[in-house]
Amino acid sequence: MKPEPPKFRLFAFLAEMKFRILLALIVFQWAFSGLWAQVYQFRPAVDGTYLGGMAVGYGLLKWQMEKIPPLSQAGIAALDPATIPGIDRSATRYWSPGVARASDIVVGGAIAMPFVALAHKKVRSEWLTLGVMGAEAGLTTLGLAEMSKSLVKRPRPFVYNPAAPLSEKEKPGARFSWFSGHTSLTGCFSFFSAKVFGDMFPDSRAKPWVWAGAAALPAGVAFLRYRAGKHFPTDVVTGYAVGAFTGWIIPHLHKKKSQANLSFYPLGPGNQGVGMIYRF
């Protein structure tokens, strides 16, 4: 009998390990969930299938994008800013690697926002479900952005700018402008964090400020990407809309319908009791 190729043995090993890790995470969440009412629902079969499918699809998409050839020097020279719609043309005047690096930092901060919420005990009680939800939202957003880039192949604004070096224009990423992955990812995790905060702490007076911050952060990244010469206005507007929607819809779909109006809270020092509120 011919032995299985190494790659198939590796896939089998990874599949088995993924199942064991998932089972362990479920047990740990159940053991340490405490007395808090669960706000969100984790369905291993549905969420595992969706998350695994998105991860594989994203990997295949990135592999396919690597096959797309970069712009040639002749192609770059033939680009004419006059062919760009008026609403987007101003972006061709900008080129700033420093501003682009600043946008990278802000995106990293947005991705870290859900982890900051783990400082609260109630949030930690659902860390597995929230982690799965965050991964689903992020992969969905990235998948939509990368798929759009690979299909549209729109040159970035700086490709039209004589001040930008030719070496940058000849990189493969120079032709993946629509739509903005930075803006969409920031919008995703900003709105995700605000949605989770509102669901878990519905009576908090900080909710308006949290939502205001969630709306402002991706707008700031959008402006930075525009001023860096990386994206056109329509790129960042589309990215904002896509990211905000995915960041909001994933927690909404996971929210327990039966407990939408029921909440629990600790009583006394050291959480010695539990109180309950039901909204009619």
* Burial call 234-250: b when 16+ CB within 10 Å, e when fewer: bbbbbbbebbbbbbbeb
Q: What is the dihedral of CA 16, 17, 19, 21, to 10 degrees?
A: 170
Stretch 220-235: mean pLDDT: 98
User: How many whole angstroms separate alpha carbon 161 and alpha carbon 216?
Assistant: 29
Q: What is the pLDDT of residue 17?
A: 53
Q: Is the peptide bond before 179 cis (omega within 30 degrees of 0)?
A: yes
pLDDT given for residue 152 in this prediction: 95
**How many Cα atoms within 13 Å fall on the side-chain side of residue 261?**
3
CA dist., res. 172 & res. 211, Å (int):
36
For the chain, the maximum distance between any two Cα atoms, rounded to a whole number of angstroms, is 73
| Portion of the chain with pLDDT greater than 70, in percent | 79
CA proximity to 186, closest of 165, 164, 215: 215
- Lowest model confidence (mean pLDDT) among 163-167, 241-245, 263-267: 263-267
Handedness of CA 183, 185, 188, 194 (dihedral sign): negative
| DSSP E strand boundaries for the chain | 262-267, 273-278
User: How would residue 78 be classed by pLDDT, with cut points 50, 70 and 90?
Assistant: very high
Query: What is the signed CA dihedral for 183, 186, 188, 190, rounded to 10 degrees?
Result: -140
Q: What was the pLDDT predicted at 211?
A: 96
Task: Count Cβ atoms within 10 A of the Cβ of residue 112 and give its class: 0-12 exposed, 13-18 middle, 19 or more buried.
Answer: exposed
Q: What is the pLDDT of residue 37?
A: 55
**Model confidence over 122-136: pLDDT tens digits?**
888 888 899 999 999
d(CA 226, CA 239): 12
Which range, of 15-19, 99-103, 126-130, averages the lowest pLDDT?
A: 15-19
Place of tokens 């700033």: 96
How far apart (Å, rounded) are the C-alpha atoms in residues 258 and 62?
A: 40
Residue 269's pLDDT is: 54
The average pLDDT across 94-108 equals: 95
| pLDDT tens, position by position, 159-216 | 999 999 999 999 999 999 999 999 999 999 999 999 999 999 999 999 999 999 999 9
Residue 54 is which amino acid? M
What phi-psi label fits residue 153: left (phi over 0), alpha (psi between -120 and 50 degrees) or beta? left
> Which of 25-29, 89-93, 202-206, 215-219 is predicted least confidently?
25-29
pLDDT at 193: 94
Three-class SS state of 266:
strand
Q: Where are the alpha helices (DSSP H) in 66-85?
A: 73-78
Q: Return the closest-CA partner of residue 244 out of 198, 193, 197, 184.
A: 184
Query: 43-57, 143-157, 163-177, 210-224: lowest mean pLDDT where?
Result: 43-57
The pTM for the full model equals 0.78
